[in-house]
C-alpha cells in the first residue's frame, strides 16, 4: 500500500526485486522510463515468484465466477475491429501455445522426467554436478520435439505475420517456449527469451550455434528414456557434446535460460521496445506466473493498449485485459487472426 506499482528494472544478476517507489519520483520522470525499466529491476529467475507472489494472488472462487461471467463472452467481432486497425501487433506466447502439439511442460503433477522435475535439472548447479544426466534430459526433449509439429495456433500466427507484412503492418512474436515451433510454422520476427533446445553454448568460449543433429553426439544415441526405472547413462564428460570451434573443444550446454540465470539483456531491450510501440497485444497460452514475461502484457495494458488473452483458464492478470477468449489456442486463435474483410488482398 502506498507504493507505485510500476515495476522498474533489468533482468540480471542475483539481486532482489526493487520497486520504482524506492526512487524519488522526479528522478524517474526525468529519465527514459523504458531504459530505467531495463536497468533498475534485477532479479533471480529462480526466486522471483516467492518474492512477488503475494502481490498477484489467485482469484477467489467468487472472483473467478465474476470474471468468467464478464469475460468469457468477449466479443470476437469487437476484437476483429481492433485487429483490423492495428499496425504493430505483439504476440506473447507460453507453454499453452504448444500444448496442442503434444509438448510436455514438466510442471505440476506428473511433470517428471524419471524422478526429477525440470527445476531439479535445469540449473547451472545440476549441470556442474552431473552434466551427463542433464544432457540426457535435454537430448530426450530435443528428440521428442523433432517428432512434433506446429499446431493451428502457430500456423495462424505465422500466416497472419506473412499476410500483414504485405500491407506494411508488423507482427512480432515474443515467446517463452524453447521448442522452435513458431519458427517451423513460418514466423520470422521472433524473440525467444528463454533460448532454444536447438542451440548450444560453449562453457569455455561462449560460442552459440544452431544444432539439429539427432543425436547431438554419438554417446547420447538411445539415451534419455523418461521411465523412472531407467538408470543414468553416466556418460564420461569428454564424450558429451563438445565445441567445434578451432582450438576450443569445450563442453557444450543447451542454450536455454536455467533457473537462477539471467535473461539476455540485449533481447530484453528489444522486447521492451516492442512493448512500448505495439498498438495491439495478444497473450497466448501463458499462465502469467513466470517472470519477467508475466509483466509484459500488464505493461502494455497500462498504456491503454488493447490486450487480448487466449487461454484455457482464468489467470491472475485476466481482469487487466480488454479481451479474454477461453478455450484451446488452436481453436480460438485462427478465427481471431483470419483476414479481415477490410484487408486488401495482394
CA angle centred on 292, ends 295 and 286, rounded to 5°? 70
- List, in sequence order, every residue forming a beta bridge with 251; answer none if it has no partner: 242
Cell 499446431 belongs to which residue?
151
Query: In whole angstroms, what is the distance from residue 312 CA to residue 101 CA?
Result: 15
Annotated active-site residue in 154, 182, 194, 255: 194
Is 239 designated active site?
A: no
Residue 144, helix vs strand vs coil: helix
Cβ-count burial 193-216 (b if 16+ within 10 Å, e if not): bbbbbbbbbbeeeeeeeebeeeeb
Query: Contact, 202 vs 248, CB < 8 A?
Result: yes
Query: Any residues with CB less than 8 A from the CB of 175 and at least 6 apart, and which?
Result: 92, 93, 94, 97, 182, 190, 191, 192, 193, 194
Query: In whole angstroms, what is the distance from residue 255 CA to residue 8 CA?
Result: 27
User: Long-range contacts: 196-199, Cβ < 8 Å, 24+?
Assistant: 196/255, 196/256, 197/138, 197/141, 197/142, 197/145, 197/254, 197/256, 198/142, 198/145, 199/254, 199/255
Query: In whole angstroms, what is the distance from residue 58 CA to residue 49 CA?
Result: 13
- Kindly list the catalytic residues: 194
Amino acid at each position: 500500500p502506498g507504493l507505485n506499482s510500476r515495476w522498474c528494472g533489468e533482468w540480471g544478476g542475483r539481486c532482489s526485486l526493487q520497486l520504482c517507489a524506492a526512487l524519488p519520483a522526479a528522478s524517474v520522470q526525468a529519465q527514459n522510463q523504458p531504459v530505467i525499466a531495463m536497468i533498475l529491476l534485477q532479479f533471480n529467475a529462480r526466486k522471483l515468484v516467492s518474492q512477488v507472489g503475494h502481490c498477484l494472488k489467485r482469484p477467489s472462487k467468487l472472483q473467478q465466477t465474476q470474471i468468467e461471467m464478464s469475460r468469457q463472452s468477449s466479443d470476437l467481432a469487437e476484437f476483429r475491429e481492433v485487429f483490423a486497425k492495428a499496425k504493430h501487433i505483439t504476440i506473447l506466447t507460453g507453454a499453452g501455445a504448444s500444448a496442442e502439439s503434444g509438448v510436455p511442460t514438466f510442471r505440476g503433477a506428473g511433470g517428471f522426467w524419471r524422478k526429477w522435475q525440470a527445476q531439479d535439472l535445469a540449473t547451472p548447479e545440476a549441470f556442474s554436478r552431473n552434466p551427463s544426466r542433464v544432457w540426457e534430459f535435454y537430448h530426450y526433449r530435443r528428440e521428442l520435439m523433432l517428432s512434433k509439429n506446429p499446431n493451428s495456433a502457430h500456423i495462424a500466427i505465422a500466416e497472419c505475420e506473412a499476410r500483414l507484412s504485405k500491407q506494411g503492418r508488423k507482427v512480432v512474436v515474443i515467446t517463452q517456449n524453447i521448442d522452435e515451433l513458431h519458427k517451423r510454422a513460418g514466423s520470422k520476427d521472433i524473440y525467444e527469451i528463454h533460448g532454444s533446445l536447438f542451440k548450444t553454448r560453449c562453457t569455455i568460449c561462449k560460442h552459440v550455434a544452431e544444432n539439429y543433429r539427432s543425436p547431438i553426439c554419438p554417446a547420447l544415441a538411445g539415451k534419455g528414456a523418461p521411465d523412472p526405472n531407467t538408470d543414468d547413462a553416466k556418460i564420461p564428460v569428454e564424450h558429451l557434446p563438445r565445441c567445434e570451434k578451432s582450438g576450443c573443444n569445450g563442453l557444450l550446454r543447451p542454450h536455454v535460460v536455467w533457473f537462477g540465470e539471467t535473461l539476455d539483456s540485449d533481447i530484453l531491450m528489444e522486447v521492451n521496445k516492442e512493448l512500448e510501440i505495439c498498438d495491439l497485444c495478444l497473450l497466448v497460452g501463458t499462465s502469467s506466473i513466470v517472470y519477467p514475461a508475466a509483466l509484459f502484457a500488464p505493461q502494455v495494458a497500462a498504456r491503454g493498449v488493447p490486450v487480448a488473452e487466449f487461454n484455457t483458464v482464468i489467470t491472475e492478470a485476466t481482469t487487466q485485459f480488454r479481451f479474454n477468449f477461453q478455450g484451446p489456442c488452436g481453436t480460438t486463435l485462427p478465427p481471431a487472426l483470419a483476414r479481415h474483410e477490410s484487408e486488401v488482398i495482394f
